[in-house]
């Protein structure tokens, strides 16, 4: 039996997303999530389909990857194949060989679940560990207390505020109203919500988008940001609590987020909102 690499395109994208949903687990929340694909959808349906790769054996999808920017492959696998040698060998051959349509030559990164053989083997092949990231996770069995301040769900009337805060919070952001509309028109947004927090002055202060992977599965916060004019006033904590509550309403069993450990504000903000940090994780990096 051989492992077959494919770009599933628009027709096959649903099957890749179904696999991603199925693989999400509270026991191993750090992995590519349907919400990562949903957030990518701001670039349009065609670009999203073109950025996804699947690896299958006997017609069954065993791994799904998202080319999430130039030189970055984010990949996860069916849980029982994390240590599958044949799968790891095939994925690595496809990743290393520039002609295979996965990654270009030069400096590249691969994100994979921390227990994936793919990561171990890339490091054995001379790749190096990338910067540390901190996964954080909040159980949603119990109801979430109401967040402080005024928080609204983003509808058509609030898209301009949503976009403004995104652009202010993330320097170099290329987010636009058109991108928000493309994302919201995507099939994955049916399981998502954008929330926005307003300061007492009425100014838009903080945003988050949350993505459910279905009932009983961990949901994802991606992205979350506070306008620089409104930081250190509790809006980050409040919108994180609201995000957890929204995910609980969507049926998620827990809320998950991952942030660079060097992002000094992010880890305490998530901890303040009841998230627990897990052991740091690192991508595998091939220097240019
Ligand atoms: C990280 C971010 C969301 C924090 O928002 P915020 O509104 O300033 O956070 P809060 O005021 O609710 O503060 C929450 C906690 O974090 C701490 N904190 C916030 N910014 C901090 C910083 N730069 N350094 C150290 N601690 C910080 C606060 O002291 C507070 O701690 P406490 O609850 O123990 O008192 C905001 O800085 C931001 O949007 N950054 C850019 C985008 C980003 O990094 N998003 C998260 C990526 S996953």
**DSSP assignment letter at 234:** S
Per-residue pLDDT for the chain (288 aa), expressed as one digit of tens each?
A: 799 999 998 888 999 999 999 999 999 879 999 999 999 999 999 999 999 999 999 999 999 999 999 899 999 999 999 999 999 999 999 999 988 989 999 999 999 999 999 999 999 999 999 999 999 999 999 999 999 999 999 999 999 999 999 999 999 999 999 999 999 999 999 999 999 999 999 999 999 999 999 999 999 999 999 999 999 999 999 999 999 999 999 999 999 999 999 999 999 999 999 999 999 999 999 998
| Closest protein CA for atom 5 of ligand 1 | 236
Determine the pLDDT at residue 19: 98
For the Cβ of 169 lying below 6 angstroms from any atom of ligand 1, the answer is yes
Q: Are residues 30 and 88 in the same domain?
A: yes
Query: CA dihedral in degrees (31, 286, 126, 118; nearest 10)?
Result: 20
7 CB-near residues (< 8 Å, 6+ apart) = 49, 50, 52, 53, 101
Determine the Cα–Cα distance for residues 285 and 111; give it in Å rounded to an integer.
9
Say whether both 179 and 63 belong to one domain. no
Q: Which atom of ligand 1 is the closest one to the Cα of 263?
A: 44
268 in contact with ligand 1, CB cutoff 6 A: yes
**Which residue among 236, 238, 242, 243 is best mutated to probe the pocket of ligand 1, counting the most ligand atoms within 8 A of its Cβ?**
236
Q: How confident is the model at residue 288, as a pLDDT?
A: 85
Both 259 and 274 in one domain: the answer is yes
- Residue 190 Cβ inside 6 Å of ligand 1? The answer reads no
One domain, residues 80 and 180: no
Assess whether 193 and 75 both reside in one domain: no
* Total tally of structural domains belonging to the chain: 2
Q: Relative to the CA of 227, which ligand 1 atom is closest?
A: 39
Which of 112, 98, 10, 9 is CA-nearest to residue 62?
112
Verify that 121 and 199 share a domain, yes or no: no
- Domain limit, last residue, from 84, 105, 132: 132
Say which CATH number the domain at 90 has: 3.40.630
Atom of ligand 1 nearest to the CA of 223: 48
Q: 270: CA distance to ligand 1 center in Å?
A: 8
**Contact between residue 218 and residue 252 where contact means Cβ atoms under 8 Å apart:** yes
> 24 and 49: one domain?
yes
* Same-domain status, 105 and 218: no
How high is the pLDDT of residue 10? Answer: 84
Last residue of some domain: 132, 155, 176? 132
Same domain for 168 and 96 = no
Dist. CA 61–CA 40, nearest whole Å: 21
* Other Cβ atoms closer than 10 A to 86: 13
Is 267 found in the same domain as 154?
A: yes
Give dist(CA 225, CA 50) in Å, integer.
28
Degrees to nearest 5, angle at CA 260 with 258 and 263: 115
- Going from the Cα of 155 to the center of ligand 1, the distance in angstroms, rounded, reads 26
Taking alpha carbons only, the member of 264, 34, 42 closest to residue 173 is 42
Domain identity same for 87 and 181: no
Examine the fold and report which residue of 132, 156, 183 is the final residue of a domain before the chain moves on: 132
- Cβ neighbours for 243, distance < 8 A, ≥ 6 positions apart: 195, 208, 210, 221, 224, 255
Q: Is residue 278 in contact with ligand 1, taking CB distance under 6 Å?
A: no
Inside any domain, residue 143: yes
Domain limits for position 253: 138-282
Task: To the nearest 10°, report the CA torsion of 15, 243, 146, 266.
Answer: 150
In angstroms, the CA 60 to CA 220 distance is 25
Cβ–Cβ under 8 Å, residues 56 and 6: yes
Are both 171 and 109 inside the same structural domain?
A: no
Residue 206 lies in a domain: yes
Dmax (CA) of the chain: 63
């Amino acid at each position: 039996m051989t492992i077959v690499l494919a770009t599933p395109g628009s027709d096959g994208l649903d099957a890749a997303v179904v696999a991603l949903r199925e693989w999400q687990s509270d026991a191993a929340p750090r992995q590519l999530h349907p919400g990562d694909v949903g957030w990518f959808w701001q670039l349009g349906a065609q670009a999203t389909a073109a950025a996804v790769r699947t690896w299958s054996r006997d017609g069954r999808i065993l791994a799904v990857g998202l080319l999430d920017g130039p030189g970055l492959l984010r990949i996860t696998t069916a849980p029982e194949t994390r240590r599958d040698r044949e799968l790891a060998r095939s994925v690595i051959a496809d990743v290393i060989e520039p002609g295979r349509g996965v990654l270009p030559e030069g400096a590249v990164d691969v994100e994979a679940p921390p227990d994936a053989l793919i990561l171990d083997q890339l490091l054995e092949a001379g790749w190096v560990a990338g910067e540390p990231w901190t996964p954080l996770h909040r159980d949603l069995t119990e109801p979430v207390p109401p967040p402080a301040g005024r928080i609204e769900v983003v509808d058509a009337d609030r898209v301009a505020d949503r976009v403004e805060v995104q652009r202010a919070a993330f320097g170099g952001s290329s987010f636009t109203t058109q991108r928000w509309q493309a994302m919201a028109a995507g099939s994955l947004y049916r399981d998502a919500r954008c929330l926005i927090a307003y300061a007492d002055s009425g100014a838009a202060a903080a945003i988050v988008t949350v993505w459910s992977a279905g009932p009983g599965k961990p949901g994802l916060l991606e992205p979350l940001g506070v306008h620089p004019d409104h930081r250190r006033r509790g809006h980050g904590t409040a919108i994180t609590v609201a995000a957890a509550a929204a995910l609980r309403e969507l049926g998620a069993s827990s809320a998950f987020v991952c942030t660079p450990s060097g992002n000094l504000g992010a880890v305490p903000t998530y901890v303040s909102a009841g998230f627990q940090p897990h052991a740091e994780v690192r991508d595998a990096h091939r220097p240019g």
